[in-house]
Amino acid sequence: MTRIFLVDDEPLVLIGMQGMLNWSELGYEVVGTARNGAEALKAIEEKPPDIVVSDIRMPVMDGFTLAESCHKDGSALPVFIMLTSYEEFDYVKRSMRLGVVDYLVKIDLTAEGLAAALDKARTVVEKEHRLQEPSAPAVSMDSYRDRLFLQLYSGSLTDRARFDRQCAELDLHFDAPQYVVALGSLQVPEQATDQLLTLSTGVTRMAAETLPKYHPCRVTGMDLRHFSVLLPLQEGEDPEATLAPALQATGQILYNYFSSPIYWAVGRPVKDILQVAQSQKDAFATLQLLRSDAPVVFYHERPNTPLDHRAQVVAQVQQYIREHLAERLTLNEVAAVFNFSPNYLSQLFAQNSESGFVEFVTATRIAAAKETMASTDMKIYEISNEVGFESAFYFSKVFKKLEGVSPREYIQRMKGSYVDAKDDAGI
């Protein structure tokens, strides 16, 4: 509601104005009245209105003095509509200042004339409110760093000189002998899926605060159900012995707070930071081995059990899907590639995967789209085509459903300001 204050030394005029309009229906609220400028000034200072409708000639303090007093600190609000008489008409025309946006001749005052003046004043008020709104916070250095990590995981960073230059600008240091990627997997209860965005954001943020207490790391959100953790290791350090306790402890803390289990799939160590995309791929392949009695699993090249074998088969199918996203990936067509029946492949996914076949294909396409957004300047329709969606419209619809924002909003949020900063730096 736009707040209105009425000032006039004639009681009948005040009563008449209050009953002239259906204020609330028009989006206004009369927050007070006064019989002179001094009385009005005191009330306005205690409860500032947006618009003051005031008579000019009043005892103790006139309307112009009231307006001048209200704006002595340089503020633009409240704006004033002045009530005048025929004799003062020319004088008022020369005095359209001090936040006065309109004037009305009292004897000719009508509901239509008052409503029109109020609309004019409200336009000024709304413009001023927009100007007073705090600017959007500058993109933090962490958002720039997240973009670099997304590029690392996508495998798109191949120019070492450029990478080193970006790291120096972002104050990032990669001097460990080896690195491993752990993939945090959020196990969302069925009843919580409608709050997935909020839950995912909270879990990822708390993981970023908690896990470094046990082992140095960097946490980066990947999608609504997964986040990647880059963990440095010393030469010869055993990943399982070093990391399992830290991941288990962090997972328990997150579960205690959010009541949603967190499973961890860990890839193989790599010695070159520019190769961490491979460790993350290993982690994705290992997701299929996760279950309640094995919430932390490390990648092994050879399966140890029949269950591992089925999970490894699913991992191979998933890897095929990741490498052929631009192609048609129906259940029938992918099953034919591996000489399976569609029903058998569907069952494999149901029994050895976090999601069904169709859900996995869709989620993988969206994840790939996000990586492409982070590492290229391709247009949305080009990205849609590259990751295998039948149309940019359908891609945008699915993307917003899974990520909570449209592709354009995601690009602007993750990339917009960074691109400007990168251009300024000559990168």
Q: Over the stretch 63-80, which tens digit does the pLDDT of each residue have?
A: 888 988 888 877 778 999
Question: What's residue 252's pLDDT?
Answer: 93
What is the average pLDDT value for the chain, to the nearest integer? 85
Question: What's residue 92's pLDDT?
Answer: 61
Confidence label for 385 from pLDDT (cuts 50, 70 and 90): very high
Residue-wise pLDDT for 311-343, tens only, equals 778 888 988 998 899 998 999 999 888 878 788
CA atoms within 13 A on the CB side of 270: 21
Q: Which residues contact 266 (CB under 8 A, 6 or more apart)?
A: 180, 181, 182, 183, 239, 240, 243, 247, 282, 283, 286, 296, 297, 298, 299
Task: Return the residue matching tokens 């953790």.
Answer: 229
Pairing label, strands 218-223, 226-233: antiparallel
345 contacts 334 by C-beta, under 8 angstroms: yes
Question: What's residue 420's pLDDT?
Answer: 41
What is the rounded distance in angstroms from the CA atom of residue 53 to the CA atom of residue 6? 5
Buried b or exposed e, range 138-149, using 16+ CB within 10 angstroms:
ebeeeebbbbbb
Instruction: Please give the backbone phi and psi of residue 262, each rounded to the nearest 5 degrees, phi first.
Output: -120, 120
Please check the confidence at residue 124 and state whether its pLDDT lies above 90: no
Confidence label for 193 from pLDDT (cuts 50, 70 and 90): low
Buried b or exposed e, range 101-123, using 16+ CB within 10 angstroms:
bbbbebeebeeeebeebbeebbe
Q: What is the DSSP track for 205-254?
A: HHHHHHGGGTS--EEEEEETTEEEEEEEE-TT--HHHHHHHHHHHHHHHH
When the candidates are 3.30.70.270, 3.90.1300.10, 1.50.10.20, 3.40.50.2300, the CATH number that belongs to 174-301 is 3.30.70.270
Question: What's residue 136's pLDDT?
Answer: 47
Question: What's residue 423's pLDDT?
Answer: 38
Question: What's residue 53's pLDDT?
Answer: 96
- Give me the mean pLDDT over the 58-64 stretch: 89
Q: Do domains 2-132 and 174-301 have the same CATH topology?
A: no
pTM recorded for the entire structure: 0.50
Instruction: Note the CATH architecture for domain 2-132.
Output: 3-Layer(aba) Sandwich (3.40)
Question: What's residue 191's pLDDT?
Answer: 52
Structure tokens at 87: 């004799």
What is the rounded distance in angstroms from the CA atom of residue 11 to the CA atom of residue 218? 69
Residue-wise pLDDT for 354-364, tens only, equals 788 999 999 99
Residue-wise pLDDT for 202-254, tens only, equals 899 999 999 999 999 999 988 888 899 999 999 989 999 999 999 999 999 99
Residue 177: CB atoms within 10 Å: 12
Please check the confidence at residue 399 and state whether its pLDDT lies above 80: yes
Question: What's residue 189's pLDDT?
Answer: 61
What is the rounded distance in angstroms from the CA atom of residue 1 to the CA atom of residue 50? 10
Pairing label, strands 218-223, 28-34: unpaired
Q: Which helix (H) or strand (E) holds 334?
A: helix 331-337
Residue boundaries of the structural domains of the chain: 2-132, 174-301
